[in-house]
Structure formats: structure tokens, C-alpha cells
Chains A and B, each alone.
Chain A
Amino acid sequence: MTGYISGRRRNWRAVAAAGAGVLLGLTGCSGPESNGQTGANATPASTAGLPSLSVAQSTLSAYVGGTPGSADAGKPPVHIGFITQHGGIPSFPESQVAAEAAVKFVNDKLGGIGGRPLALVPCVVVSAQEEALNCAQKMANDERVKVVQLSLLTVGTAAVYETLSDRKAVVGQTPASPTDVAAKGVYQPWPGSYGIQGGIAKYVADVLKAKRVAVVYDGDDPGSAFGAKSVAAAFGHLGVSFKQVATQTGSADVASALVSAGALDADAVVRISNTPSCVPTARAVQQLGVKAPIIALDFCTDDSVRQANGGDLPKWTYVGQSRNVLSPRTDQQAAIYRSVMNAYAPRAKVGGLAPYAWDSIILDAKMLNQLGADPTPAAVSDWWKGFGGPLFLGPDRVACGFLADKGLPSLCSTTVFLAEYQGGDRWERSVEVNAESIGITK
């Protein structure tokens, strides 16, 4: 009996030791994978042939209205708050990496803001509304911060806008929720999933000349579902007949939805989804032998899709809010962005939300160069309202608030870029489509 007990104790001790080891190991190894800088996340596309940094310097200093050269490190920095989301689900670590690269570049090559260095005050939301509220309160209570640059947040944005309202100038980036689109006095330079659908519809109707379209979307994702709804409205106006069917994010069974939406005899298939649905879609398309061109969001250009799809992306047409940064060969501005990223954040993810975050900082520099380092919230809001473009990585023309009468006061643009992928890292030049308003193309 005693033997039995002591034997059991030994087992327990061994198990406890193993448990502790597991924990220790965990804390030791979790860091690098989650900050968006690993080799696995890097795009294999070659960096050869990118323009030199001096080209980037001259082009961008003209764009932001800065003085080529480095900022004076002795001068007091100009602080920009930066609220971003990573570490939970979903997670966009590339935003902060790209924003920091842009800040370094601005300080190094564009003379900062009137010679003063730009400094990022980041605040990270992991996954909870409480964290977003905390970040907003931190910004509101930080005397140094005059401008808060948002990056894409999926939680707690209502609290952020409410808390910072009239206290700090807030600059949006790309809307992820209806709250973003409806925010007052805050402008979102990029259309997000709330502004790209009209462009897609127009492309499908005018460029592909499609008569029948199958639309498959992630029904459990509000952004995708909104997209499906507005693309339906747009098709209706364009006289394109369509069928739409919802799946669930990441569901392995996309084939049912494709068949049900009539993908087998449609002229085009529009797939509106997040990254986890891309590979199942690619498999289902292959399995069913769908012949029609596939239009998918650029979430599907993620490296995980490339890996799971046998090392190459599916040969689809990808919809982006920005110029195609994966194809520097076909776009000069994208090439300059890549060159800057290559110099200041080598091996970082260049796709995903990185271009928007990077461009946001460049735009902030442009704005602060014009408004001075300590702008009021009203001044910032007015600047955006009067800003006609261009976005460095986006369309030439934007008009913030142009959809205010449609209940979308914070949108600045509904322009999308569609790029056809031919495989083997070769891209067609992207097509810029400007739907003048969501779902309604005049």
C-alpha cells in the first residue's frame, strides 16, 4: 500500500515538473513569431530591381512637402499616437512594423516634421474592448500626443471615437466596422470592406463583361456580409444577374456554396472573405473545375495561402484598396514603398495591412508639414475634408465625406485596384476602378 502511494507521488512530481517545463518553454519561445518579422511571413518576391532609397527620398519628400535630409535629433519630437491590434485573434502585427519603418524613413530622409523628429506612441489592443478603451484613455491623457493615428481595429472603436472626440485629432485608416464608417469628424482614407464593392461590381460588369455572377461570402463576418449586400445592390444597378450564398469563415466546405451560387456556369465568381477561407476556396475551385475568373480580396495574397496552395497563389484577380504592392515591377509607387520597407524593415510582411499603415504615417507627415506640429482636432478634420489626394499608394483623387448623405460620412474613397495574378510571381498591371459611390455606379 505504501509502495503504491509513494509510486503515485513520484508520478505526480514528474507530471508537475513536465508541466512547469511546458510553461517555461512557452514563455521562452513565443516572442518572435508574433511580431510579424519572421522569415516565414516575408514575401519571397525578389527585391532586386527596386528603386534606390534616393529615388524614394526625392519622390516622397516632394509628396510630403518635407526637406530631404534627416531630422534634428536634438529637437523635441512630434508625437503621434498609434492604436493598433495584435497578439490576439485577429492580429495585424504588420501594421506597427510598417508604421515604425515609415517613421524611421521620415526622420532619416524626409527631415521629420519641419526638422523635428517624428515619434510614434504605440498602444496595442490584443482582443478586448477594454483594451481599446484603455488605449484611447492613454492617448487622451498623454499631453505630448496631438494626433492619434488609428490602424485597423476590430474591437472597441466606438469607445475610441467617443473618448478622443474633441480631445485629440483622430486620423482613421481603413474602416473595419460600421462605427468606423459613421464616425464623426474622422476620415478613413482607404475604403475598407465598406467601400470596395461598387468598384468590384463595375469591374465585373465593364471589364469582364459578365452577365451572370456567383457571389460567395463569409456570412459570419460582418464586413464580408456587408460587402455581399452592397455588391448585390451594385450588380442590380448594372443589370448583372447574380446569386449569392454565404459560407462560414474557414469552412472547408466551400464547394457547396460555389455550386449553389451557380459558379459552374457563371461568367465570374466573386469571393468575399477573410484569409482562412482562401485555401478552401482554391481547393473547391479546383475540385469543381470552375472555369470563370475568380475575383477575391487581397486577404488571399497572404503567405499562408501561398504555402498551402503548393507554393504559389491561386491565379485569380485580387482586389486591393491600395496599389499592388506585391508587384513593384508594374507600379512605380509600389516599388518605392517596397524599397523603403526593404531598407527600414527588411524581411517584414509587406502585404496585409502594412501598406495602409505605412501610407498613413506618410500622410500624417504631409499633413503635419502643412498644419504644424500641434494641430487642433478641428484643423485636422478640416485638412482631411479639403484633401483631394493623391494617396501615395492609392488613387489620385479622394474626397473625404463625399458619401455623408448616404450615411457613410467618414469614407474618402471607393476606389479599388484589381490585379490579375498569372502565377510564378507575375502580375498584370492593376486596374483602378472608381465607383463613385457604394453600390451605385453612375
Chain B
Amino acid sequence: MAGPLLRAEALCLHYGGVRALNEVDVEITPTELVGVIGPNGAGKSTLLDAITGFATPTSGALTFDGQDVLRRRPSERARMGIARTWQTLQLFEDLTVSENVRMAVPRRPKAVGVLPRRGGERAEHDALARLGIGGLADRMPGELSHGQRVLVGIARALAGDPKLLLMDEPAAGLDGSERDLLGEILRDVVASGTSVVLVDHDMPLVLGICDRLYVLDFGAVIASGAPRQVRNDPAVVAAYLGADDPETRDEERLQPSLPTEGAR
């Protein structure tokens, strides 16, 4: 496939006087894992919202798979192959794990109505098996551990066989081994042909698995490139050093060697 899978050009998004996104250019090519990092309030989640359609950019252009999607509704974008997860997971708490996943399996046309869909079960089973949580199919989300819930969220996002998966802080709250598993899963997802955009504060994870990084600060891209390049970028270091308290942890993680941090 020629050209990028997703291209955002000069995206701007203003809430009142706040510039949540300022002339942001982002490009995602097929089958790559792209990390987006930056201090809290840098506009990372807003960028995901803008790409998925939950926030409407004030100006700019957005193309996905060669089509202009800026004015498309989120459900349409979802059907085109843009999937996402949330930091708060947003699982359907009243549905079983398998029902959660089934919700995202594309419906065959004209299947609207009361009758249950067939054929979906296979895709749903695959999505669960792929993440190794096939045994949880009949459980309710409320009964699961946080790590398992994160996996259910990812399984649901993958069930629609998306071309692009956007993930908002999936590693938050995971322990070391869970994080390693998450990294493996993401690499595997990319290998199977889905591009992934990973927003996370977990620097070892992001730096360890991503092909490319974008660094946001105050709604603007201040750096981009391979992890090694970005880590040494003076602008990035400055942004992280200048950040408020909660973010200094990011800065600490950014500098020292990766393996020890990852074992924290």
C-alpha cells in the first residue's frame, strides 16, 4: 500500500482560549508502532479524540486510508478501521466479556434487529484467544483484575479487525510482568498488520517497543523520530525538566538506562 495510513496536517483544536492542539502534523504508516509522549495536558488524549472523532478540530486536515475523515462521525471512522482504547477502559460493565468483544465485530449489512448475529462468534473467539483470555469469555468485567480488564479492552478494540489501533495509557496500573505481556501483544498486533498509536507515560515501555515517537508539549509536536533520537533531543529534555511535579517521574524514566527502570 502506498502512502501513509493516517495523515494529520496542521490540526488545531481550541477550547475557549486553550490551545489543546496547535498545528499538529502526524503521519502513521501501515504496520508501525508509534508512541506519543508528553507531560499531562500536552494534548495527547485530545489528539486521539481528534483522530477518532470525539473532538472536532478547529482547523486542519485528516486523512485515513486515503480518504478525508475530518467530518466523519466517530462510528463511521470506527467502521473504516480506526479502533481505540481508553485510559478508563470504558468496558460495557453490564455485558459479559464475550458480549463486550462481540459488540465490535462488524455486523453484516441488514442484520439490524432483534436476531442475534451469527458468524460474529468466531471473530469474537479469535480476538479473545489472541490475547490469551479465551477462558474469561463468560465472566463479567467487574469480576476481573485490572490487567485482565485492560486485555478485554484491547480484545474489543481488535475484534473489528482495525487498520489502526489508538491506545490511551494502557500500561497505567499494570505490574511489571503485565507490562511486558502488553509489549509483546502490541508487537504481535503490529506484526499482524495493524498499526498502533500508543499514548503512555511508561517510558521504558514506549521507548522499548515503539518504532517511532512523537513528543507533544502544550498542544504542539516538539520532537519526533526514533526513540533513541528523541531521547536525546534537547527540546524534549527541556520540556520534561520544566514540567510540574507529577511529570518529573517521566523525566527520571527518560534518562537512565531502560532495563533497570522497567523492572521497577
A and B touch in the complex (CB under 8 A): no
